[in-house]
Amino acid sequence: MDTLEICYMSAGDLSKLVKNKEVSPVEIIDAHLARIEATEPVLNSFITLLAEESRTAARQAEKDIQAGRYKGPLHGIPVGLKDLYNTGGVRTTSGSKIFDTFIPEEDCTVAAKFQQAGAILLGKLNMHQFAYGPTGENPDYGHMHNPWNPEMVTGGSSGGSGSAAAAGQCTITTGSDTGGSIRIPAALCGIVGLKPTYGLVSRWGLTALSWSLDHPGPMVRTVEDAAITMNIIAGYDPKDVASAKVDIPDYTTALTGDVRGLRIGMPKEYFEAPLDPQVRKAVLDAVSMLESMGAEVKEVSFPMFNQSQAISSTVLMAEATAYHRDLLEKDGYQLYEPVRQRLEAGLFISAADYIRAQQARALLDQEGRRLLDDVDLLAGPTEPVTAPKLLAPRVLAGEQEIGVVGALTQYTRPYNINGFPAISIPCGFSDTGLPIGLQLAGKPFDELTVLRAAHAYEQATDWHTRRPPL
Amino acid sequence: MASEQLSREEFDLLAKLLDVDGEPAYLDELYSQVRGVYISAKNIREIDVSGAEPDMAFIPPTD
């Protein structure tokens, strides 16, 4: 089999071949290592590549499968973890040279679950330093580059995960999402990114950015792979104080292709905000397609959306500064300057303003729940723009030039505030060839409905089959 | 704590009290960011939160 085809196969398809012994884990890992060698000089997706370790693991997986010890759909499948997921015996930098030699003693819960499932860790993926930025900048390990146009950002903070999945360097990658850090690079790199409900996937062993806003989740090329990954990583973890005790369904049962009767709300405020006309058209076309497939679409109002930037940034900055305060005092001079500035700006937030932001957060949560009494999903753009140029401070969204940080987090922050599940899936391309993302959000712990609609749309379109020109 | 506007003199004083230091260009940019923090705080103070208890975190089900 052509090695590039192996690299672009979904985990769903690849696992069938592995199970039937038509492709071996060794072939899969070798194909991906060759792909990484060819594309990494352009993309810079990895901080740590585990070439020999992954080959050794692949040989063991091959032996196990040959001996009839097949572990399931991720056995022998290459996975890349954002470099703030602790991995026992493998350095975990959080995107900073300050932790260049930090080697955790044990795996975070998500890494341990991948290991138990037989997945093969290919490496640790590049990220915005300490996950504190939405673009994918990193002076310590090099900036990340968008596979569709390397002059553009990947989005962040899980930028290496976005580029690695989009370019066929990894079959499965993971991100963490505090203000959009899974969905932003997913949209800008043209892949699928799922931010699960807060508490559904364990945060234990991940470097925090903001305790009450952090969500780990999958970044992959198909909705089926998001469902397969969720089957492995979702579930209660007593080590995580925010972990939810809920029944975990088989997420692949959502992949019916049927959206008949599904009620989709389009918040009108999303389309009154700064928005690139090509993105607007692609998103409206996507929702029209879901309607033509049998979904019921109606306009809804989400007024608290307009306050979501202020609420999210106040909570996030205060918590991030609290978490990193010792680091800031001891090693602040070593931080990427914009990251240091954000951390120091958090020192100026009063306790009263933080608490008031949490009160406003409760109101946004209540409003979101009321909205989802009347509809099953909220739909809109993931991003108001396509990928901006690397290091550009501002970007044009429709007729307005706005700051890049505010632009890239415009539509993603509300679902960090209320913890609702939200997915970004490809829904088109700009005339410059850059991907556009559709965001679908659902009720807490109703990932099944989110995946159902995302999968039905994906299967009715071919956006997810396109490959970047690398 | 935050007034609606933050002058450069007030910022410099607060920065000193918070033990924040840096080159002039760094502090200029930080001042710009802190003004953004104050604008966010002002926006939040304009929301009627009476009756709303602080949602310290989304509380997931535990049983």
Confidence tier at B5 by pLDDT (50, 70, 90): confident
pLDDT of residue B3: 54
Q: Are residues B62 and A242, on separate chains, in Cβ contact within 8 Å?
A: no
Whole-number pLDDT of residue A1: 81
Between CA A395 and CA A386 the distance in angstroms is 10
Cα maximum dimension of chain A: 62
**What fold is seen in the domain A3-465?**
Amidase signature (AS) enzymes (3.90.1300)
Taking CA–CA distances from B19, the nearest residue in chain A reads: A329
Q: Which residues of A touch B24 (CB under 8 A)?
A: none
B40 → closest Cβ in A246, A314, A329: A314
Ramachandran area for residue A131 (φ above 0: left; ψ -120 to 50: alpha; else beta): left
Which candidate, A307, A436, A312, places its Cα nearest to that of A384? A436
For A27, A96, A177, A359, the CA distances from A131, given in Å and listed in that order, are 33, 10, 9, 25
**How many CB pairs below 8 A link A and B?**
117
Q: Which residue has the tokens 């389309």?
A: A271
Nearest-10 crossing angle of helices B24-45, A308-331: 140
Among all residues of A, which ones are annotated catalytic?
A: 82, 157, 181
Residue of A nearest to B13 (CA): A348
Which pLDDT belongs to residue B61? 65
* pLDDT of B57 higher than 70: no
The tokens describing A290, both together, are: 């879901």
Residues 6+ apart with CB under 8 A from A61: A25, A75, A76, A118, A120
Are the CB atoms for A382 and A279 separated by under 8 Å?
Answer: no
Separation in Å, CA of A347 to nearest CA in chain B: 7
Question: β-strand A120-125 against A78-82: which pairing, if any?
Answer: parallel
Res B60 pLDDT > 90: no
Q: Which of A249, A157, A146 is nearest to A195 (CA)?
A: A157
What pLDDT is stored for residue B55 in this prediction? 79
Cα–Cα nearest to A30, from A68, A67, A65, A1: A1
Buried b (16+ CB within 10 A) or exposed e, A418-439: bbbbbbbbbbbbbeeebbbbbb
Give the residue from chain B lying closest to A350, CA to CA.
B1
Across the interface, which of A197, A311, A353 has its CB nearest the CB of B2? Answer: A353
Which of chain B's residues have a Cβ under 8 Å away from the Cβ of A341? 26, 29-30, 33
Question: CB-CB: which of A199, A344, A360 is closest to B60?
Answer: A199
Rounded to a whole number, what is the distance in Å from the CA of A393 to chain B's nearest CA? Answer: 12
Distances (CA, A) of A390 to A70, A177, A346: 43, 21, 25
Which residues are CB-neighbours of A71 under 8 A, at least 6 positions away?
A64, A116, A117, A118
Tens digit of each residue's pLDDT (9 = 90 or more) over A65-87 = 999 999 999 999 999 999 999 99
- Give me the long-range contacts of B10-18 (CB less than 8 A, separation at least 24): B11/B35, B14/A348, B18/A344, B18/A347, B18/A348
Residue B2: the pLDDT is: 47
> With 0-12 CB in 10 A as exposed, 13-18 as middle and 19+ as buried, what is A347?
buried
CB-based contact A411:A439 (threshold 8 Å): yes
Report d(CA A242, CA A264) in Å as an integer: 29
Residues A359, B55: C-beta atoms closer than 8 Å? yes
The span from the CA of A148 to the CA of A165, in Å, is 12
Cβ-contact B15, B21 below 8 angstroms: yes
Provide mean pLDDT across the span B15-42. 95
d(Cα B63, Cα B61) in Å, to the nearest integer?
6
Measure CA A267 to chain center.
23
- The ipTM is 0.92
Q: Is A218 helix (H, G, I), strand (E, B) or coil?
A: strand
Residues A278, A280, A282, A288, Cα dihedral to 10°? -150
Q: Determine contact: B53 vs chain A, CB below 8 A.
A: yes
Token representation of residue A455 = 């999968």
Name the helix (H) or strand (E) containing A153. none
Query: Is the CB of residue B13 less than 8 Å away from at least one CB of chain A?
Result: no
Q: Look at residue B1 in the predicted model and tell me its pLDDT.
A: 45
Q: Which residues of A touch B23 (CB under 8 A)?
A: none
- Spell out the per-residue pLDDT of chain A, length 470, in tens: 899 999 999 999 999 999 999 999 999 999 999 999 999 999 999 999 999 999 999 999 999 999 999 999 999 999 999 999 999 999 999 999 999 999 999 999 999 999 999 999 999 999 999 999 999 999 999 999 999 999 999 999 999 999 999 999 999 999 999 999 999 999 999 999 999 999 999 999 999 999 999 999 999 999 999 999 999 999 999 999 999 999 999 999 999 999 999 999 999 999 999 999 999 999 999 999 999 999 999 999 999 999 999 999 999 999 999 999 999 999 999 999 999 999 999 999 999 999 999 999 999 999 999 999 999 999 999 999 999 999 999 999 999 999 999 999 999 999 999 999 999 999 999 999 999 999 999 999 999 999 999 999 999 999 999 999 99
List the structure tokens of B2: 């935050």
pLDDT at A298: 98
In the structure, what pLDDT confidence band is assigned to residue B58 with cuts at 50, 70 and 90? low
Contact between residue B40 and residue A308 where contact means Cβ atoms under 8 Å apart? no
Instruction: Identify all chain A residues contacting B52, using CB atoms and an 8 Å cutoff.
Output: 359-360, 362-363
Neighbours of B42 (CB within 10 A): 15
A-chain residues near B4 (CB < 8 A): none
DSSP character for A106?
Answer: S
Residue of B20, B52, B63 lying closest to A245 (CB–CB): B63
A243–B58 C-beta distance less than 8 A: no
Residues of B in contact with A313 (CB under 8 A): 36-37, 40
CB contact under 8 A, A350 and B41: yes
Task: Show me where the domains of chain B are located.
Answer: 8-43
Q: How far is A36 from chain B (nearest CA, A)?
A: 37
| Distance to chain A for B23, nearest Cα, Å | 11
B57 touches chain A (CB under 8 A): yes
Both structure tokens of A425: 């899936």
Chain B residues near residue A394 by CB distance under 8 angstroms: none
